[in-house]
Amino acid sequence: MDLKGRCIGCGFLAKRSIDPTPSYYEIEQSERDTGHVWQHRAAETGIYIQTEPECFRHVASIRGEIQQIPDNNADKSAAAKRVFSKDRECEYWYPYTLGLTPKEHLEEVKMQLLENSRRDFELRLFKITEQIQKDSRKIATRSFWFNLFFTLVLIFLTCVQIWLALGENRLIFARLLEQLFKLLILKLS
């Protein structure tokens, strides 16, 4: 029998004490198998306390379902076992771990949810950081080509201005420019 979705395999199946103060206790595997959940032996005092089975998360009304079973007073344990074994396909089901109380199971669930939330946040943060880096590289590349273009335009205009100012010495300047452009092309390639 697959225990998933059934109270018998869920960590939130609990014994709730009736007196003196309401408390929740673990229903051990042997009690789950037999349905003997109507009392709990206090470890500190050795005294037996009257208990009732209950869903710690209040998803199912276990006591109410046991009471609805015909002849449940004849064998309350068999009725309890039958209710525990019912397939509920419960979305809050969490696997039972021997030795953990229902409260400890709930703390474990909350810890896992918190860890999953943290992991999702870190993943989203990583994706955002990646996108920022990608955009920064794109901006840097565009900026480089923009700056290069305007630098070349300024160099050209400066050369034109010098050319016009030189008058008769333009030939020397033309050779100098030719050497500068060759050097620039070598640096860029």
Q: What is the dihedral of CA 92, 96, 97, 102, to 10 degrees?
A: 60
Q: What pLDDT shows up at residue 187?
A: 81
Sort 88 into a burial class: Cβ within 10 Å, 0-12 / 13-18 / 19+.
Answer: middle
99: helix, strand or coil: coil
Q: What is the pLDDT of residue 1?
A: 66
Q: What is the pLDDT of residues 19-57, one digit of tens each?
A: 767 789 999 999 999 999 988 888 778 888 889 999 999
Six-digit token string for 56: 């710690």
Going from N- to C-terminal start, the domains of the chain cover 7-100, 117-188
Measured between alpha carbons, how far is residue 79 from residues 27, 39, 88, 174 in Å? Answer: 16, 16, 16, 106
What was the pLDDT predicted at 177?
A: 78
Task: Indicate the SS3 state at residue 39.
Answer: strand
What is the 3 state secondary structure string of the chain?
CCCCCEHHHECCEEEEECCCCCCEEECCHHHHHHCCCCEEECCCCCCEEEEEEEECCCCCCHHHHHHHCCCCCCCHHHHHHHHHHCECCCCCCCECCCCCCHHHHHHHHHHHHHHHHHHHHHHHHHHHHHHHHHHHHHHHHHHHHHHHHHHHHHHHHHHHHHHHHHHHHHHHHHHHHHHHHHHHHHHHC
Q: What is the pLDDT of residue 111?
A: 96
Please give the pLDDT value at position 20.
67
Which residue stretches of the chain have pLDDT < 70?
Answer: 1, 20, 71-74
* pLDDT for res 74: 63
DSSP 43-65: TTT--EEEEEEEETT-SS-HHHH
pTM of the full structure: 0.66
Q: What is the structure's pLDDT at 176? A: 81
